[in-house]
Structure 1
């Protein structure tokens, strides 16, 4: 499918400039497993990229049932992956050095690669996102993974950021349950039993972002408003990580999709996983 560009990609902001993190912010992320950062992208940058991303999501959305006829996962969001492959403009956004350096700085690693990106658009009156760990899907045996979650439009308090279970990332791999009603019930009980503090970062402006570890338990409320909650995410992992033996169908599927041609033990690096930031190269 040919996706028309609404801007000349070379004229769009490059977002190469550094976003300075304090030692306190890095420490907070390491302790809690999540953090909110304000104006990671400025208003002008978001104004340039939001229409391009929204256009592509609309073109590629394959939901053909009304909300009330979908399952819990289908009600949670419109999910489109690897937009950077389909648009030169979005490639410029997803592979932005500024975002990648934040990911590397928070994890305390030399460099990061892209796992994949995802547009997660929660429709008006869309459902909640159940409790889950992202990394149960990823064939990577490491704690050096992180997701940037950036709204492309202002998000009100009633929609809010995701809700995180602080310090849950320190538990590592909790179970293999994919996003479902069952994962929501079971993991909510687990969170209560462990006494983890649950925390939302509340209202967010377009261009603000949360970053969370692949092991951090999180969920998201439904969208009670009449407007689309438009969010773009980018998943990073530390350069030098190797592919793990997939221990579930979800990880087998991700191995084929995101590490094509690789086997367990191989360096996790293909053309789909470009090195987007390296401290040693800068």
Structure 2
């Protein structure tokens, strides 16, 4: 028997407020990340997850065998800006519910989209090395945050995201791209400085938010099924573009910020306003 999906109610859920507790906000601001339970229903994750998975299969161009890939390529299939490919994916990416949580955690009046990306760690996919995302972003303020949304239960064997608590405020490793070197150097330095590592499974409906300078990694996927994750990167709506400091930031400036002038706000059509308290 075919089950009818009430797509209107699912879209409505994506726009309803999720109440972020003062304790969760304080935890995020202290530790640079937070995990929140029951943010999205199984029905929403199933409906939009099916669409996202089909887009990943359609748009993926990485066809090399696992043995032929680099460490970065073994970590996951990475498909970006799905919101520009499909209207249903756009509904998910533009979720007011998820964007408002990001604004609440950062303590800002609104957020714009930097970009979205699906991160699918295949069975036998490798570890994701220690890194900080904002190394890649030509943005002047640290008020950036990524929401990491598993589309299934994510036990340890699937490689859930792990966070180095309070690492968002330290200067170590800010000039290192994601690589075998970043894994080795940051693992050693984080251990030397006694950073607590939160490395725990994700329940279905649980999501995490981490700041742009928070160091994080993920283990390999030793299960027999893909670890399917969707992410959106938000930035303070009053963020400004900084002069690119490396070749990756040069590429991001062009690709995700429309080459808007240094010192200006990233207000191109690529960076829509997803939540504002003024509205």
Give the TM-score range, shorter chain.
over 0.9
Aligned to 2:35: 36
Aligned to 2:247: 249
CA distance in 1, matches of 2:7, 2:181: 43
Give the superposition deviation at 1:210: 0.6
Aligned to 2:153: 154
Is residue 113–residue 234 contact of structure 2 (8 Å, CA) maintained in 1?
Answer: yes
Q: Does 1:209 align with 2:207?
A: yes
- Deviation digits for residues 68-94 of structure 1, max 9, x if unmatched? 110100000000000011000000000
Is residue 151–residue 231 contact of structure 1 (8 Å, CA) maintained in 2?
Answer: yes
Q: Does 1:125 align with 2:124?
A: yes
Aligned to 1:275: 273
User: CA distance change for structure 1 residues 234 and 216 in 2, over 3 Å: closer, same or farther?
Assistant: same
Aligned to 2:68: 69
Aligned to 1:55: 54
Give the superposition deviation at 1:214: 0.4
Give the superposition deviation at 1:54: 0.4
Aligned length: 274
Give the superposition deviation at 1:163: 1.0
Gaps of 5+ in 1: 1-6
Give the superposition deviation at 1:176: 1.8
Aligned to 1:3: none
Aligned to 1:98: 97
Gaps of 5+ in 2: none
- Deviation digits for residues 247-271 of structure 1, max 9, x if unmatched? 1001001001011131211112210
Aligned to 2:83: 84
- Deviation digits for residues 38-86 of structure 1, max 9, x if unmatched? 1211011112111100000000111121111101000000000000110
- Deviation digits for residues 136-194 of structure 1, max 9, x if unmatched? 00000211000000001111233352111100001257422111001111111221222
Give the superposition deviation at 1:9: 7.2
Aligned to 2:184: 185
CA distance in 1, matches of 2:171, 2:47: 38
User: CA distance change for structure 1 residues 172 and 13 in 2, over 3 Å: closer, same or farther?
Assistant: farther
CA distance in 1, matches of 2:175, 2:6: 43
- Report the more deviating stretch, 156-165 or 263-272: 156-165
Question: Normalising by structure 2, what TM-score?
Answer: 0.94
CA distance in 1, matches of 2:38, 2:159: 16
CA distance in 1, matches of 2:162, 2:177: 17
Question: Normalising by structure 1, what TM-score?
Answer: 0.93
**What's the C-alpha RMSD, in Å, of the aligned pairs?**
1.6
- Report the more deviating stretch, 104-113 or 156-165: 156-165
CA distance in 2, matches of 1:195, 1:139: 30
